[in-house]
Amino acid sequence: MAKLYFYYSAMNAGKSTVLLQSAYNYQERGMEALLFTPGVDTRAGTGKIASRIGLDAEAIAYDDQFNLYDYTKKLQETNSKLKCVLIDEAQFMTKEQVGQLTDIVDELNLPVLAYGLRSDFQGEPFPGSKYLLALADNLVEIKTICHCGRKATMNMRIDEKGNKVTHGEQVHIGGNESYMSVCRQHYKTA
């Protein structure tokens, strides 16, 4: 029985690395995984998933109007090797797209593994994460650490001098130059 999994964490915990490893595991066994990534994240190029340790793979870029279910269903009709759907940066999905993931699981009987941030730089849930937390069959936390050694659970946006940013748009694509993963205590006291 297929399930919807949500793997979540703060930034820099290795979510994309785990996703790419999962894709490789399917490929190694003669099966295929369908990879999706949001078109808004172009750090590695449009339609590409890349990890900080150098792994990468091509993926289907989607926007908030893209129908994940329709695309997957059409591909499944012509590709019997398709056995899994993997979503990178799942926090950027819409409520409707998370619903489409549940349809992929329930109607197409394909497992879906979604990877993303639980919350933004202000501690607020992203839309995709909010609905994945509510609808996923399995929730899996991928852990990373704060500079103090405690578990990092917060994504602190920083400016060019390393100071905490408290206001701005929810979506700001960036890496270590824009964000730090910190524990709640250091998030509150920064």
Active site residues: 89
The residue type found at 33 is A
154 residue type, one letter = M
Is 150:174 a contact under the CB 8 Å cutoff? no
Q: How far is residue 130's CA from residue 116's CA, in Å, rounded to a whole number?
A: 11
Tokens of 89: 């940066």
Report the SS3 class of residue 18. Answer: helix
- Residues 128 and 154 sit within 8 Å (Cβ to Cβ): no
Which of 97, 104, 108 has the alpha carbon at shortest distance from 37? 97
